Structure 1
Amino acid sequence: MARRIGYTGEPVLTPAQIAEWRRNDAVLLEAAMLADIIIPGVVAQCESRTGAAIREARYVETWPASRRSGHALDVGQAHTVESVEVLGADGATVAAGLGHYLQHEQRESMLHFSAGRPPGTLRITYLAGLDLDAYPAVRNWLLLNIGTVYAQRESMVIGASVVELPSGFLDHMLAEITVPPRF
């Protein structure tokens, strides 16, 4: 499984965009909470649900010797491989020094090695992140869920009947970027 090292891109939404979506400028009084807590939390939910990087980040994953050239990277929406290193028995790394390229598909990116896969365990560092302009339904999903978290900040609802939007409606907003399950 890939491990996120850190975000490299700008936040995918701003408090001003949330205020516009909610048609409520009073939301901006809590801009710091939106920017620091609610937006990152909902982005993390979306990333967890889809397996795709929503906000651009740097990832590192380890491929065992059995994983072949052309295998998909763990995180969807990968766009740049920064390095491929071979791990030695002592844990030291050596740059693989071989040509590689990414085959970009809608949900996944496959890493190919031009001259064949280097032997041994590989450590691959790459950037992944979604272009929200290409997937406007994902932006809608984020805005809907940010609005829900903003309006309902407690984990318990007392004295009100709560009904979630139909899952078919919400799930289709993320279908285009959801990484298929792997076994």
Structure 2
Amino acid sequence: MIPADRCLRSPGGNGAKSAQAWAARPLSDLQRKNLRSVTSAAPCDGDPADDHPHLTAGSWRLGELADGFLVTQLLYAAAELRLADVLAAGPADGPAVARAVGAHPDTVTRILRGLCAAKVFAETDSSRFSLGPLGEYLRDGVPGSQRGPILARGAIYYAAAGGLLDAARTGENAFEQAYGESFFAHLQRVAALRQAFEAP
């Protein structure tokens, strides 16, 4: 785990140079970094374990679970952009993947890199990405595809989950508080969300 103020900051000073050095690091080093580093162009310096020697395996694992919100959004963005479909054709660097889907190169690279830690994608020493052990399931039409459920989680459930604490305190329905209507009424009104919910 790395404090958010280290990873969610805007790059300054020699940030661009540091980011280039960060991108050039080998895969084994990259995979040791916390997933939060993908949300900013500013790299998180050093091994997170070195910063927190007092953490036990259990406390470290709990911190990883707390990062689940980020994994959900990384998967959702990758599924929506169909990054796995691009890489199914063969390895490519982040900017090439971004061009193929009409998205921002640096951000797509961070999404790919973040999901390398989760074994969805894999990165070579030359900063090229390929499908990892789980990446095939981000595609439509493959046995065991999870693209539809991931789209539903990112596009529908995620915002409602943010209201869970208020729901626990007030007894109100978290989904209705987030969207102003019931779950099925919302799906009926928003065709794109209904398609995500019904996707196999």
Give the structure-2-normalised TM-score: 0.22
Question: By percentage of residues, which structure has more strand?
Answer: 1
Task: Point out the structure with max Rg over C-alpha.
Answer: 1
Instruction: Name which structure has the greater RCO, CA cutoff 8 Å, separation 6+.
Output: 1
Question: By percentage of residues, which structure has more helix?
Answer: 2
